[in-house]
Amino acid sequence: MRGIDELGDLRGQRVLLRSDLNVPLDGDTITDDGRVRASVPTIQRLTAAGARVVVMAHLGRPKGAPDPQYSLAPVAKRLGELLGAEVALASDVVGESARKTVAALADGDVAVLENVRFDPREASKDDAERGAFADELAELGDLFVSDGFGVVHRKQASVFDLAQRLPHAAGLLVQAEVQAFSKVLDDPERPYVVVLGGSKVSDKLGVIDNLLEKVDRLLIGGGMAFTFLKAQGYEVGGSLLEEDQVETVRGYLDRAAERGVELVLPVDVVVAADIAADAETAVVQASAIPADQKGLDIGPATIELFRGKLSDAKTVVWNGPMGVFELAPFAEGTRQVALAVSEVQGTSVVGGGDSAAAVRQLGLDEGAFTHISTGGGASLELLEGKELPGLTVLES
């Protein structure tokens, strides 16, 4: 796929830039600006070349209509702070304010259109509806740059259809994401270890299915581990369990054994009666979880087990926390696994979503990892081996 440098002379060109600025908010306060910071290098590359940059993004899940709680105003403000320049915000997406805001841009200026999901056509399943919205967006620009990796798995107007209407290229972030995942999926150094966590095994079925053909070791933690433990015949108390996936998981255990893939499960867990910051906790064997307790983190023996399995790895992908890391009593498993991944003498990729949030929330050094993805859903679909529409369209 083409990069920015292949778009030619950008001076005076209106560049429609699809970024992923879908950040968590507490009122008007951004609680994690990682995605905004990740968007800055591409914007700076464009403005340095004299482009007039028009940023398109979404925030949250508005119901296809303007909703003040999902306004991009806090994001535009933070973007301006990071760029050290004023960033104008249009009050609509393709209306009068958008047209006036874009028309007022000088070379090197940046503006943000209001939340693209305020227009119901953005995410429409109807190709004609999406196309009509993309036509209106295209009138605001001369070129299109796709840099919102977190949305490239979506067939949406500002991601997919717009690339069919304007000369296009991948931004620096999308290029970096594709390069990082291509390396771990197509040409990994071995031993190749994948660490999967998170709450539901059903969210990762496609990933496990694909990775069992590729990896040397698969370490399973988080809430999804309890369905695996149940498949091994253990009782899991009040822990998160997907009964309807037990047989599927049992099949994965059999396949791993047949293929010589080392599938490693927790040997001990941190349990509590309730999910609370002041919960009374205990460490129990994974095979002996009390009926009235919930497993909410991996235990110290599992931490050491996982650390050992990561110690000689040359390629590691980590996707999903090991426990309820947002609460101190259940954060240590995620912290220690993240540290072990960061110490890998090889390629270490953090697969976005909660894993990336955990790295920042726990105060870990982001620079210690080879790559921290900005796209949870997109990275999962890449790990599943799927084609992503927002990437394939860039190759045309």
**368-380 residue pLDDT tens:** 999 999 888 899 8
- 255 — pLDDT class (breaks 50, 70, 90): very high
User: Which of the four pLDDT bands, split at 50, 70 and 90, describes residue 59?
Assistant: very high
pLDDT of residue 361: 85
Say if residues 114 and 75 touch (Cβ distance below 8 Å).
no
How do strand 347-350 and strand 294-298 relate by DSSP bridges?
Answer: unpaired
Q: Which residue matches tokens 């028009």?
A: 54
Which residue out of 14, 35, 230, 309 is catalytically annotated? Answer: 35
349 — pLDDT class (breaks 50, 70, 90):
very high
Q: Is 353 a catalytic residue?
A: yes
216 annotated ligand binder: no
Confirm whether residue 78 is marked as ligand binding: no
Catalytic residue among 141, 323, 353, 390: 353
Selected catalytic residue, list 3, 95, 108, 377: 377
Dump pLDDT digits (tens) for 178-207: 999 998 988 899 999 999 999 989 989 999
Active site residue 346: no
* 3-class secondary-structure state, position 265: coil
> Which of 143, 138, 193 minimizes the C-alpha distance to 318?
193
Q: Is 210 annotated as a binding residue?
A: no
pLDDT of residue 360: 87
Residues across the chain = 396
Closest to 145 (Cα-Cα) out of 71, 72, 39, 59: 39
- The neighbouring-strand residues paired with 54 are 16, 111
pLDDT band at 75 (very low <50, low <70, confident <90, very high): very high
Share of the chain above pLDDT 90, in %: 90
CB atoms within 10 A of CB 35: 24
Give the active site residue among 200, 250, 255, 307.
200
- Has residue 352 got a pLDDT over 80? no
Active site residue 200: yes
Whole-number mean pLDDT of the chain?
96
The annotation status of 18 as a binding-site residue, yes or no, is no
Residues facing residue 371 across a β-bridge: 349
Residue 239 counted as an annotated binding residue: no
The structure's pTM equals 0.89
Residue 122 labeled ligand binder: no
Q: Is the pLDDT of residue 240 over 90?
A: yes
121 marked among binding-site residues: no
Q: What domains does the chain contain, in order, with CATH numbers?
A: 4-175 (3.40.50.1260), 188-384 (3.40.50.1260)
| Assigned token pair, 171 | 């931004």
